[in-house]
Structure 1
Amino acid sequence: MTESMAAQPHSHHYHVPQPSLYPFILSGGMFTLALGFILKMNGFAPGPWVMLGGVGIILYVLFGWFGKVIGESQAGAYRDWEDKSFRYGMVWFIASEVAFFAAFFGALFYVRTISVPELGNMVSAHGTTLWPDFTGAWPSAGPKGAQFTPMGAWGIPALNTALLLSSGVTVTWAHWALLKNKRTQLNLGLAATVLLGATFLGFQAYEYYHAYHELGLTLGAGAYGATFYMLTGFHGFHVTLGAIMLTVILGRTLKGHFTPERHFAFEGVAWYWHFVDVVWLLLFVLVYWL
């Protein structure tokens, strides 16, 4: 052990929080939410109320637990070791998200380039084409799927692409401001990012309404409908989470949290938001455009 470490042993000790009941309460809230969903699916009247109770428990844990972590951060409990471990953790988390979406993009590739063309060329044991009127071209609902109109790329999807790319610029602008300790620019950049994310979600909700009621594009519209809502729906869920996290970060910056030297919470959320942007670009090209 060096003299500096011997002189300041506590400054190099990794912060270990005190035991907490929050993980157990969160598990109870998740169980309550799942139970309510099961009850609702089986036609039991209390189901939605049980689900609401589960959501309330989860929100209580999120506010309490995250508030405790923020308090520890502001008190100086997290130093170099903690900062490094947080960065490693965020990198692995985003890597798991990459794998998550890679699986769905893989499913889209398989259905589009292998499964549907094979169905179009499938021949019975007697040498006759099983579905003579089915060409196996994409987009497709399958040989017996419901008819629908595919979602075009140059309406709301193109607008949403511009919104998300702009939000990537504003969050980077805010990051530069934080590094230079320009608090007004930081707050404006974050507020603009949250607003752009919320606008994106509003347009996506309208797009879903339009698809269901005017285009016949539903979850029951065969392979295209299933992959469309699977990919865009999960992405929208991630945008929602990112917007919530950015709102929390904005609230913290308005309170004067973060310094040019210590601001991993901001960086972690910015990484996540850029990841969401990249996934949307892939969605726009592979789901809407091609």
Structure 2
Amino acid sequence: MTTTETAGDHAEHEHTSRWPLIAAVGAAALYAGAGLFLVGPDLVPVVLPTLLLAGGALGFLGGIFGWLWEAFLVDYWADHTAEAAGDRAGVYTGGMLLFLVSDVATFLAGFVYYAFIRVGAWPPSELPPLLGSLVIVNTLLLVASSFTIHYGHHALEAGNRRGFLAGLVATTLLGVVFLGGQALEYYEFVVEEGLTLAGGAFATAFYGLTGLHGLHVALGVVLLGITLARALRGQYAPDRDTSIRTVSLYWHFVDVVWVFLVAVLYVGAVVG
């Protein structure tokens, strides 16, 4: 085998990843298990959804961890500027775009369920005060975080290391504060308003959609933390920014979904 052939095989190996597929299969099993669990033990033996939930969770988390390791962590301990460039950069960016496209379908399933709820009598029960100051502040924080990560990425491309780090730090902190605000909102709804997950169709849709989005924000904070740690080690440069580019795409997607979710689930529930 020639050197050229070896290099080509190595490049092909670098460009191929099994982890997104594992995560997708795990997510499918997770959703199937959750759906069967909601059907009830009268129709489906409880052991089946339990196995699907457990196996799906392991597959999904394992796939996500493997993907994170391969795309963001494998070069973390390198002393030089370690970051995908050239064709590999296009592969990782394209992979993130495909992941986000599939993620749109996941959220659409939740919104379709909510649309079916709205067909009947509305509201199905007494709603808590959805449009409070907390959701407004949380929305402003998340929207602001899109600007800070854009600023940080732009600063990196301009060779401004201090601005790049400031943008990453600000975005990470805003994400953490958003998660704290969502936890506080859940506490108020559950403890003070009595809106539990078993509180009816709206509660199921509300916690399902906002909880799914919260999981995405939490994953985004993990990604931001990894890129921030690597940035502090000097592992990025204007022509070595693949991780920053892909994380930015993901974070902007999370922000857009939240704005749409607020418009439909919060504002729509009150004024609709």
Mark yes or no: TM-score above 0.5. Answer: yes
Q: Is 2:211 aligned against 1:205?
A: no
Counterpart among 85, 91, 96 of residue 85 in structure 1: 91
RMSD: 3.7
Q: 1:16 aligns with which of 10, 13, 34?
A: 13
Give the alignment partner of residue 230 of structure 1, picking from 208, 213, 218: 208
Name which structure has the greater RCO, CA cutoff 8 Å, separation 6+.
Answer: 2
Question: Which residue is equivalent to 1:94?
Answer: 100
- What do the CA deviations read for 1:208-234 (whole angstroms, capped 9, x no partner)? 011011111111111110000000000
Q: Deviations over 1:95-143 (max 9, x none)?
A: 011111111111111211x2x2xxxxxxxxxxxxxxxxxxx122x14xx
CA distance in 2: counterparts of 1:15 and 1:188, whole angstroms = 36
C-alpha spacing 1:170/1:78, structure 2 compared with 1 (3 Å): closer
- C-alpha distance in 2, partners of 1:60/1:265? 15
| Unmatched 5+ stretches in structure 1 | 1-5, 35-41, 43-53, 117-135, 142-147
Q: Residue 184 of structure 1: which of 162, 165, 169 is its match? A: 162
* 1:73-112 Cα distance to aligned partner (Å, 9 max, x none): 9676844222222122111001011111111111111211
Query: Aligned partner of 1:171: which letter?
Result: I
Query: Aligned pair in 2 of structure 1 residues 252, 88: CA closer, same or farther (>3 Å)?
Result: same
CA distance in 1, matches of 2:96, 2:65: 24
The match for 1:174 is: 152
Offset at residue 16 of structure 1 (A): 2.3
Counterpart of 2:261 in structure 1 is 283
Shift in alpha-carbon separation, 1:160–1:75, aligned structure 2, 3 A: closer
| Alpha-carbon distance, 1:252 to partner | 0.8
Q: 5+ unaligned residues in a row in structure 2: which ranges?
A: 31-45, 47-57
Shift of 1:199: 0.4
| Structure 2: distance between partners of 1:224 and 1:83 | 42
1:105 corresponds in structure 2 to 111
Pairwise mapping of residues 100-249 of structure 1 onto structure 2 (< 5 A)? 100-112=106-118, 114=119, 116=120, 136-138=121-123, 140-141=124-125, 148-249=126-227
- Conservation of the 8 A alpha-carbon contact between 2:83 and 2:243: no
1:125 match: none
Q: For the structure 1 residues 110 and 176, does the alpha-carbon distance in structure 2 shift closer, same or farther, using more than 3 Å as the test?
A: same
2:240 to 246, 250, 262: 262
The TM-score with structure 2 as length reference comes to 0.73
What TM-score comes out, normalization by structure 1 length? 0.69
Q: Is the 8 A contact 2:168 2:224 kept in 1?
A: yes
Identity over aligned pairs, percent: 34
